Amino acid sequence: MLHRIVIILFLVSTYAAATAQDARPFRFGLKVSPNYGWLRPNIPELEKDGVMGRLGFGYGLMGDIMFSESPNYLFSTGVEITHHGGRLVEAASEVVDGTRFNGTLEQTYRLQYLNVPLTLKMRTNQIGYMYYFGSFGMDAGLNLAARANRDYTWQGSAALQPEDEDNIDIKNDVRALKMALNITAGAEYNLSGNTNIYVAIGWHNAFTNILKGRVWEPQSDGNPLLDAAGNPMIGQNRKAVTNYISLDLGVFF
């Protein structure tokens, strides 16, 4: 009889632990975030041919802070390193040994940021072993590195034409700070106690310009527009934003 009571109490306590609401004032976790990103130009002098995206990756710490008596509303933040980028096409002009070459440039950007998400998370009560949630807010990003591959298409003779360039440091062409909209939705599965598996899809849409410098004014064929002396004409300041979709996989402790 005693052993039956012990078994019943054990089962009841296990079920209660599994179905109890997680009402801790703070919790943290680890995550990895493969992503697919692209650049969206904000001036006609910069173009993209299709999506022109590239795969990226992110990783870091995440944390939830309960700011009211309800466990359903949380301030969600963290610190993460993200790698993403994309490709843009623009007019190109360079001088080699006194000879000017004009054409087009397709540049693939590889950007690295220290990112701090600042979002409001709204989650359901625990349903079985699951929580479901959505969050809305901003990403604040600090650029850590920027590199690019440059593929040129020059007009005229191939002799002495500037060659394509790989893995060029372009940090001076990228702004230090970036702000982005962050919309994320997902679910958590309770493994045991306070340990939850985290899966989410995130949409990260920058609303601040990430580029510096100016572009050459293009003609309708994409090559630089020339003045009466045959020199390329300078166009607007470079303006583009980053976009990427992330698959967030992690664990809360």
Q: Where are the domains positioned within the chain?
A: 23-252
Q: Which amino acid is at 209?
A: N
- pTM, full prediction: 0.84
Query: Which pLDDT score is estimated for 24?
Result: 78
Which residues neighbour 108 within 8 Å (Cβ) at sequence distance 6 or greater?
Answer: 54, 85, 86, 87, 148, 149, 151
The C-alpha atoms of residue 48 and residue 215 are separated, in whole angstroms, by 15
- In whole angstroms, what is the distance from residue 91 CA to residue 213 CA? 14
Q: What is the pLDDT of residue 111?
A: 97
Q: Which residues of the chain have pLDDT under 70?
A: 1-23, 49-51, 157-158
> What topology does CATH give the domain 23-252?
Porin (2.40.160)
Q: How far apart are CA 250 and CA 160, in angstroms?
A: 52
CA–CA separation, 136 and 64 (whole Å) = 13
- Say whether 9 sits in a helix, a strand or coil: helix
